[in-house]
């Protein structure tokens, strides 16, 4: 008799993975109101599925999602324009969970230049340097 347990486990994992992947992508996990976040870049990743960085301020270390690499590159936010230790100011939307230091950025200002990684999204806050 064929043991189907590994196949059942694989099927269950396949069903759970999209939900986990979507949990932190998109905008459903963020507040509707735009806000501003400023601090010092701790680390930065320009890779898939979206550019991301860790930003330290008085509240702690934030996980920040930016746009996918292609959109970030179109905005000019490419490897080398920001690095750990740089001060950055972002506009976007923080997590709906007030205990979670997570932020989805629409703009990032670093080195006196603002990069609008989501240019088609309506914005209520003007970026600040």
pLDDT tier for residue 5 given thresholds of 50, 70 and 90:
low
Give the position of tokens 């196949």: 7
Name the maximum alpha-carbon separation found in the chain. Answer: 67
Measured between alpha carbons, how far is residue 30 from residues 5, 65, 96 in Å? 38, 11, 5
Q: Which residues pair with 114 in a beta bridge?
A: 109
How far from each other are the two terminal CA atoms of the chain, in whole angstroms? 67
The single-letter DSSP state of residue 80 is T
For the residues 11-22, what does the mean pLDDT come to? 45
Chain-centre distance of CA 63, in angstroms? 7
The predicted-structure confidence for 52-80, as pLDDT tens digits, reads as follows 999 999 999 999 999 999 999 999 999 99
Please give the domain boundaries of the chain with CATH numbers for all domains.
30-116 (2.40.50.140)
**Each residue of 83-129: pLDDT tens digit?**
999 999 999 999 999 999 999 999 999 999 999 999 999 888 888 75
pLDDT score of 70: 94
Residues in contact with 89: Cβ distance below 8 Å, sequence separation at least 6, in sequence order: 36, 37, 38, 108, 109, 110, 127, 128, 129
List the single range of 9-18, 22-31, 46-55, 80-89 with lowest mean pLDDT: 9-18
How many CA atoms are closer than 13 Å to the CA of 4, on its beta-carbon side? 4
Tokens representing 111?
């080195």
């Amino acid at each position: 008799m064929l043991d189907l347990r590994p196949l059942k486990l694989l099927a269950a994992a396949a069903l759970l993975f999209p939900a986990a992947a979507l949990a932190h992508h998109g905008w459903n996990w963020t507040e509707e109101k735009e806000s501003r976040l400023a601090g010092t870049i701790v680390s930065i990743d320009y890779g898939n599925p979206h550019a991301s960085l860790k930003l330290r301020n008085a509240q702690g270390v934030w996980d920040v999602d930016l746009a996918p690499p292609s959109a970030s590159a179109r905005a000019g936010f490419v490897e080398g324009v920001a690095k750990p230790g740089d001060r950055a100011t972002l506009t976007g939307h923080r997590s709906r969970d007030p205990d979670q230091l997570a932020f989805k950025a629409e703009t990032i200002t670093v080195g006196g230049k603002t990069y609008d990684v989501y240019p088609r999204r309506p914005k209520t806050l003007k970026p600040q340097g």
